């Protein structure tokens, strides 16, 4: 147990927890994106899908129970990921009290430099996103249970659609560095497939960006109505 506590106390151990929770959340956004694209199958199909999520695991789970189980795991992952992210951010801030006059940021990318602020931005957006399309209190015409209607009404506002696309762009940037970085943190490297890690992260980020952005853009163009 002494070793487990030393691991937890170390900066590396905290990052391993961030990497694991990061992969849980990555898995969620991939499933979420696939779910979103079902909007193109029509209102009836989409609402049946939304209802099926609530009925997931029946009859073992009661209505909505399995969904809540997933939500608790996701919320826990978000909290762990953010808590350690902020804690390590403070550690790094303390590590260089006096900055440089000239700083070139060697080999850094827009993605790697925006992980922390980007992460906070995504967290903030998710709260709004839940109020917009799950709780519905900031949606102009929210009908509980009619997911397709809520989606179309929600994204008819150009501001809401634009905010969504921007948030998804920040998310894609976060995942481009995050996926690669998490593999590195978990020590998943090997000379034979090292060169693939950046590529996999890039493909994942682009697929998610396009997949997510398609839905609000389609509503704006009147394809989904």
Partner 1 sequence: MRLTLHVWRQASGSPSGRFERYDMPDADEHMSFLEMLDVLNNRLIEQGKDPIAFEHDCREGICGSCGMVINGRPHGPVQRVTACQLHMRSFKDGDDIWLEPWRARAFPVLKDLVVDRSAFDRIIQAGGYISIRTGAAPDANAVPIPKRDADSAMDAAACIGCGACVAACPNGSAMLFTAAKISHLGLLPQGQPERFSRVLDMVGTMDEEGFGSCTNHGSCEAACPKGISLDFIARLNRDLIRATLGKGMEVEAPAGGAG
Q: Enumerate binding residues for partner 1 (CB under 8 A).
A: 3-4, 6-7, 9-16, 88-89, 91-109, 112-113, 115, 177, 180-181, 183-189, 191, 194
CB of 221 to partner 1, least distance (A): 38
Nearer to partner 1, 96 or 225 (CB): 96
Burial 98-122 (b: 16+ CB within 10 A, else e): eeeeeeeeeeeeebeebbeebbebb
Nearer to partner 1, 42 or 199 (CB): 199
CB of 25 to partner 1, least distance (A): 17
Cβ burial, residue 158 (10 Å; 0-12/13-18/19+):
exposed
Nearer to partner 1, 86 or 135 (CB): 86
Nearer to partner 1, 12 or 221 (CB): 12
CB of 104 to partner 1, least distance (A): 4
Nearer to partner 1, 40 or 117 (CB): 117
CB of 156 to partner 1, least distance (A): 39
Under a CB-based contact definition with an 8 Å cutoff, are residues 173 and 114 in contact?
yes
CB of 80 to partner 1, least distance (A): 16
CB of 77 to partner 1, least distance (A): 19
Nearer to partner 1, 28 or 89 (CB): 89
DSSP state of 1: -
CA–CA gap between residue 56 and residue 58 (Å, rounded): 6
Q: What is the DSSP string of 58-114?
A: TTTS-TTHHHHHHHHHHHHHHHHHHHHHHHHHHHHHHH-SS--SS---TT--HHHHT
Triad 43, 73, 76: Cα angle to 5°: 120
Element (H, E) at 46: helix 43-54
Under a CB-based contact definition with an 8 Å cutoff, are residues 15 and 85 in contact?
no
């Amino acid at each position: 147990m002494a070793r487990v506590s030393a691991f937890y106390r170390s900066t590396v151990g905290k990052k391993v927890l961030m990497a694991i929770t990061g992969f849980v959340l990555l898995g969620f956004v991939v499933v979420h994106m696939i779910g979103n694209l079902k909007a193109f199958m029509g209102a009836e199909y989409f609402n049946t899908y939304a209802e099926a999520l609530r009925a997931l695991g029946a009859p073992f789970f009661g209505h909505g129970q399995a969904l809540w189980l997933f939500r608790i795991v996701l919320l826990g992952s978000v909290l762990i990921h953010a808590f350690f992210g902020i804690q390590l951010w403070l550690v790094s801030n303390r590590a260089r009290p006096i900055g440089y006059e000239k700083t070139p940021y060697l080999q850094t990318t827009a993605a790697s430099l925006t992980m922390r602020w980007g992460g906070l931005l995504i967290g903030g957006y998710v709260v709004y996103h839940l109020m917009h399309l799950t709780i519905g209190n900031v949606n102009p015409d929210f009908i509980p249970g009619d997911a397709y209607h809520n989606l179309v009404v929600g994204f008819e506002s150009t501001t809401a659609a634009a905010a969504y696309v921007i948030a998804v762009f920040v998310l894609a940037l976060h995942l481009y560095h995050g996926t690669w970085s998490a593999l590195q943190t978990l020590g998943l490297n090997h000379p034979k497939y090292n060169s693939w890690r950046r590529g996999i992260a890039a493909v994942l980020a682009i697929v998610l960006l396009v997949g997510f952005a398609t839905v609000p853009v389609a509503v704006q163009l009147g394809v989904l109505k």
